[in-house]
Amino acid sequence: MQGVYHSRADYQPQESPMPDQYVLVEKRDGVAVMTLNRPERLNALIPPLNDAIEQTAHDLGQQDDVRVVVVTGAGKGFCSGADVKGWENAPPGSAARPPRRELTAPSSQLVLPFRQMTKPVIGAINGVAGGAGFSLAMACDIRIASESARFASLFIHRGIAPNNGVSWTLPRLMGPAKALEWMLTGEWIDAKTAESLGIVNRVVPQAELMTVAMELAKKIAAMPPIAAELTKKAVYRGLAQDLLPHLDLETHYQKVCFGTEDFKESTQAFLEKRPPKFKGR
């Protein structure tokens, strides 16, 4: 489900977005900006938004004109997690109050579309990222946070175990001891602390967040798409492989790249001392 992306300066919050506007999309220069659009609830997750995230990520992954995806949130938050308060306040039996078991996305719904996507995904974390919203941020390949961003794995406070892959991601980013301490206390941390723990790549002023994220996205989008795709695959497959089979995998991926038009173009551009023009072939 896709709508028209608006910059935050132009965006007017809506109490009830149309179904095709839960996720807004803008594409330019090989980059798709994917904006979660429930700003009045800090982009808290409800089933239609969960579905829109999954469908939009799947669609963008299939589009040849998209080389990099940037994920952010409308308004002051990235994603505050499942909309528990909205569920509690909604009239019983209404569309806004589905059975509690349907309130949160299935564990694969928010994570796999981004990890299975061959294109790099950059999270532009503009504010609160809590619970399942934190899991969503961690599902991005690269994370840039604004100075106002805050992070928490809130599941323990709700009496539930973590989901959406955060118990897989965090130990790999910060080690099992720190990951356990954080998930067992459910404490909030600020952006600078998140950077020091290695869960965000960098922290920038709020006003510069999208500029910095787009600059990085465009830089990556200018690279040969097949090589970028195989680089992402190699990194994640390496998390579950021993070194020897991984060396074989790297050799295979390089052979694939040697057979592409983009490899020939990179060599020709180097010899001609000009910028290469990669076509993803």
Q: Which residues contact 52 (CB under 8 A, 6 or more apart)?
A: 1, 19, 20, 22, 23
**Boundaries of domain holding 233:** 225-272
Quick check: is 112 in a domain?
Answer: yes
pLDDT of 67: 97
Residue 135 contacts residue 162 (beta carbons within 8 Å): yes
Total tally of structural domains belonging to the chain: 2
Quick check: is 281 in a domain?
Answer: no
SS3 165: coil
pLDDT of 190: 96
- Count other Cβ atoms within 10 Å, centred on residue 94: 9
Dihedral of CA 83/155/2/71: which sign? positive
Check whether residue 170 and residue 196 sit in a common domain. yes
Check whether residue 191 and residue 204 sit in a common domain. yes
**Over its length of 281 residues, how does the chain's per-residue pLDDT go in tens digits?**
344 333 333 333 334 455 459 999 999 999 999 999 999 999 998 888 888 999 999 999 999 999 999 999 999 999 998 877 655 555 565 555 556 555 555 556 778 889 889 999 999 999 999 999 999 999 999 999 999 999 999 989 988 888 888 899 999 999 999 999 999 999 999 999 999 999 999 999 999 999 999 999 999 999 999 999 999 999 999 999 999 999 999 999 999 999 999 999 999 988 988 888 898 88
pLDDT of 14: 39
Q: Which residues contact 53 (CB under 8 A, 6 or more apart)?
A: 22, 23, 36, 105, 109, 110, 113, 136
> What CA–CA distance (Å, rounded) separates 264 from 37?
42
Check whether residue 31 and residue 145 sit in a common domain. yes
Q: Which two tokens stand for residue 114?
A: 């981004």
Domain boundary among 181, 201, 221: 221
